[in-house]
Chains A and B, each alone.
Chain A
Amino acid sequence: MNVLEIKNLTKKFGDFIAVDNMSLAVQEGEIFGFLGSNGAGKSTTINMIAGLLQTNGGEIKILDKNIASHSKLAKMNIGIVPQDLAIYEDMTAYENVRFFAGLYGLRGAELKERVEEALVFVGLLDKQKSLPKDFSGGMKRRLNIACAIAHRPKLIIMDEPTVGIDPQSRNYILTSVRKLNEMGCTVIYTSHYMEEVEEICSRIAIMDHGKVIAEGTKEQLKAIITDTRDIWVEVKNTENLEEAALKEIKGVNSISIEENVIKINSQSEVNNLNHIIQFFISRLIEIRSLQEQAPNLETVFLTLTGRNLRD
């Protein structure tokens, strides 16, 4: 089932088109990544999904229901972690989560239980009585997440939840995203950090200038650029190297030698690293270093757009 389906979505700010005829679908159980540089239109898209912005054309469906006509159902099933912190700094962590969860119709004992559940989830239960203004950036971010999940939404949309925080909190958040996903939530994760998206997302849409320019699993995305990878093996000497035998190894396309570095171009989908290493060991050629030059999402983005993800 499609948890989210977008068709020909468009948003204009005056003459400027921030989201341009965009279509995509997110299936249940996915961690779907929006990857794109600043200003690509990720937040704008999310704001339209959340009903914060009116669309200028196109259609958004949540759980197969159009949000224009089923806004209440959509809202009940979405949890949004906004890009900028959206918490009351002078209310305690507990009060924050309770207030926002209360807007979803939760009451009494159930409300209390859900609030605590959310606080436990983000690891802030022991800080529940403290004011966010005394929190570190990471803790605020976590509270920001807690406020979005207490009502147990089916779809959680996180808009750059890791901007400007310490690595520890970042790891914590990434782990929580996975955990949420395991608990059955579909997650949309927005970022301009390629590593994060590559690490946790099962499918990724690369966005640029309001358009999805490529979409798929990370393998599919990398395969757009190339289906080969380079393995660079630095050896002590290349004197008794039998090039022909090396070429015989399954998947190897070509070999070039520059000084003591042997550059092996090989098919991506064939896992032949073992064989290659075996080749050198069996011939008593000493390996000094070994590097794999495979494209990552950053390279994909760079190759497609000619720009870096972060400028």
Chain B
Amino acid sequence: MNIFNIALIEFKHTIRDVRTLVFMLAFPIVMMLILGTALSTTFDKNIKIGKINVLYTEKTDISFSSPFHGFIKEAKKQDIHFKKAPHGLDGKKAVKQNHYDAYVVVTDKGVQFYGSERNSIQASIAEGMLSAFTDKYNLITEVAKEKPDQVQTVMASVSTTPGSYVKETSLNADKAPGSMDYYAVAMTTMIALYSAISASNLIRGERIRNTAVRLVIAPINKMEIFLGKILGSLALNLVCIMLVMAFSRFVFGADWGVHPGMVLLILFTEVFLAVSFGLGISYIIKADQGTRTILMIILQLSSFFGGAYFRIENADGILRFIMNLSPLTWAREALTKIIYNNDLTAALPVISLNLGISLLFLLFAVVAFRRREGL
């Protein structure tokens, strides 16, 4: 009950702090608007994605190769060019050296797919189409086993509607992120990260305001204070993020996909990460000014390398490594996969990473908190 009261009071008085609210709501929306419109040309998908080159080897009999060739033909219309690998060429190496976007080995067991890490978008488009194709093919083999007489009809339907591969992969050309979509995700994840600022102030604010004194002298457990504060902060930041999301969805028409639950879950874990991080930092660094500075530096770097301000493409080596350090990158990439590829499994690593790191910081904060005199 006390936890709830403390959470509520935290929520209330943050919400009355106009500056924070403007920062958490207006700032991302304005940024979305500015960056989303100003940089919209860089998101022209025709130019960006362009031709996709896929190398393939076939180690199969005729029965499978004919629908596969049908698929290749159909794919060509979408500007995906399949090329048979010449003898002796190491397909994987060719992809690595960036000559091709992907390499496909077709055997009678199935299709093996190697995507380029550099051109991940191209690779994933090809992958998506291929996976849709093989899905269909598996269906056919199923049918072929059970009811040989119907094979023909299904096959026919396959070959007559080849365009449907594309629809089912949901890698329709229309379904790549436009600039507004990109910045909606980027800004929301960024602002989720910025929860760390208010979180670093959670306990410190009470100390500065002196109200920490009253909390400590009250007959309640210190842990109740701690949990209450975290809860309040989580709730408030989550509400802010949902508002930003809703605004971008309904006003800017940004695409948030068809799995809002999963998207929210990822954002929630990110807020959790940010809050624990802010709290942890406020205990690691004793000086108040220092906390703020270091936090701002870390957040700005994370935002920058996480692609909040502009998209970083084709990164590799050190840059890729640095990018991967940013929680924004994790969250943004997972969200992109969920929204555009329906790839729900992409959520798992980022959620567990976020939760894991959060718990670490939280643990540290709890230990420091319990040891400290007062709050």
Q: Do A and B come from one complex?
A: yes
Of A87-95, A163-171, A279-287, A298-306, the stretch lying at the interface with chain B is A87-95
> Do residues A51 and B216 form an inter-chain contact, with CB atoms below 8 A?
yes
Tell me if A's interface is mostly helix, strand, loop or mixed: loop
B217 on the A face (CB < 8 A): yes
User: What B residues does A148 contact at CB under 8 A?
Assistant: 214
**A62 CB to nearest B CB, Å:** 12
Beta-carbon nearest neighbor of B12 in chain A: A91
> Do residues A52 and B217 form an inter-chain contact, with CB atoms below 8 A?
yes
> Chain A, 244-280, contact with B by CB distance < 8 Å: what is the 0/1 string?
0000000000000000000000000000000000000
> Do residues A102 and B5 form an inter-chain contact, with CB atoms below 8 A?
yes
> Do residues B214 and A90 form an inter-chain contact, with CB atoms below 8 A?
no
Of B47-55, B111-119, B205-213, the stretch lying at the interface with chain A is B205-213
> Do residues B216 and A100 form an inter-chain contact, with CB atoms below 8 A?
no
Instruction: Knowing A75-B219, A100-B218, say if A91 contacts B213 (CB, 8 Å).
Output: no
> Chain A, 39-66, contact with B by CB distance < 8 Å: what is the 0/1 string?
0000000000011111000000000000
**A89 CB to nearest B CB, Å:** 8
User: What A residues does B214 contact at CB under 8 A?
Assistant: 80, 82, 86, 100, 103, 147-148
A310 on the B face (CB < 8 A): no
**A78 CB to nearest B CB, Å:** 7
Beta-carbon nearest neighbor of B205 in chain A: A88
Interface residues of A in 66-98 (CB under 8 A from B): 71-72, 75-76, 78, 80, 82, 84-91, 95
**A65 CB to nearest B CB, Å:** 13
Instruction: Knowing A88-B209, A91-B9, A91-B12, say if A104 contacts B374 (CB, 8 Å).
Output: no
> Do residues A86 and B220 form an inter-chain contact, with CB atoms below 8 A?
no
User: What A residues does B9 contact at CB under 8 A?
Assistant: 88, 91, 95, 99
> Do residues B217 and A104 form an inter-chain contact, with CB atoms below 8 A?
no
Q: How far, in angstroms, from A151 to B220 measured CA to CA in the complex?
A: 14
Interface residues of B in 12-67 (CB under 8 A from A): 12-13, 16-17
Most chain A beta-carbon contacts within 10 A, residue among B2, B210, B216, B218: B218
Instruction: Knowing A52-B374, A103-B2, say if A76 contacts B213 (CB, 8 Å).
Output: no
> Do residues B5 and A103 form an inter-chain contact, with CB atoms below 8 A?
yes
Most chain B beta-carbon contacts within 10 A, residue among A78, A80, A88, A91: A88
Beta-carbon nearest neighbor of B220 in chain A: A103
> Chain B, 211-229, contact with A by CB distance < 8 Å: what is the 0/1 string?
1111111111000000000
Q: How far, in angstroms, from A100 to B213 measured CA to CA in the complex?
A: 11
B373 on the A face (CB < 8 A): yes
> Do residues A51 and B13 form an inter-chain contact, with CB atoms below 8 A?
no
**A11 CB to nearest B CB, Å:** 11
**B335 CB to nearest A CB, Å:** 34
> Do residues B5 and A90 form an inter-chain contact, with CB atoms below 8 A?
no
> Do residues A91 and B219 form an inter-chain contact, with CB atoms below 8 A?
no
Number of interface residues of B (CB under 8 A): 21
Q: How far, in angstroms, from A82 to B9 measured CA to CA in the complex?
A: 20
> Do residues B218 and A104 form an inter-chain contact, with CB atoms below 8 A?
yes
User: What A residues does B218 contact at CB under 8 A?
Assistant: 75, 100, 103-104
> Do residues B373 and A53 form an inter-chain contact, with CB atoms below 8 A?
yes
Partner among B2, B210, B217 whose Cβ is within 8 Å of the Cβ of A51:
B217
Beta-carbon nearest neighbor of B8 in chain A: A99
> Do residues B217 and A99 form an inter-chain contact, with CB atoms below 8 A?
no
Interface residues of A in 99-136 (CB under 8 A from B): 99-100, 102-105
Interface residues of A in 201-260 (CB under 8 A from B): none
Interface residues of B in 317-346 (CB under 8 A from A): none
> Do residues B374 and A53 form an inter-chain contact, with CB atoms below 8 A?
yes
User: What A residues does B210 contact at CB under 8 A?
Assistant: 82, 84-86
Q: How far, in angstroms, from A91 to B12 measured CA to CA in the complex?
A: 8
Instruction: Knowing A86-B209, A103-B2, say if A75 contacts B13 (CB, 8 Å).
Output: no
**A42 CB to nearest B CB, Å:** 15
User: What A residues does B220 contact at CB under 8 A?
Assistant: 103
Q: How far, in angstroms, from A36 to B9 measured CA to CA in the complex?
A: 37
User: What B residues does A82 contact at CB under 8 A?
Assistant: 210, 213-214
> Do residues B219 and A80 form an inter-chain contact, with CB atoms below 8 A?
no
Q: How far, in angstroms, from A100 to B2 measured CA to CA in the complex?
A: 10
User: What B residues does A105 contact at CB under 8 A?
Assistant: 219
Most chain A beta-carbon contacts within 10 A, residue among B9, B17, B209, B214: B214
> Do residues B5 and A80 form an inter-chain contact, with CB atoms below 8 A?
no
User: What A residues does B16 contact at CB under 8 A?
Assistant: 90-91
> Do residues A80 and B374 form an inter-chain contact, with CB atoms below 8 A?
no
Q: How far, in angstroms, from A105 to B219 measured CA to CA in the complex?
A: 9
Kindly list 15 other residue pairs between chains A and B, CB separation below 8 angstroms, not including A51-B217, A100-B214.
Answer: A50-B213, A51-B216, A75-B218, A78-B217, A80-B213, A80-B217, A82-B210, A82-B213, A82-B214, A86-B211, A88-B13, A88-B211, A99-B9, A102-B2, A103-B218
9 contacts between A and B (CB under 8 A): A80-B213, A80-B214, A82-B213, A82-B214, A86-B210, A88-B9, A91-B13, A100-B214, A103-B218
8 cross-chain pairs, A with B, having the tightest CB-CB distances, nearest first: A103-B218, A75-B219, A86-B210, A90-B16, A50-B217, A84-B210, A82-B213, A86-B211
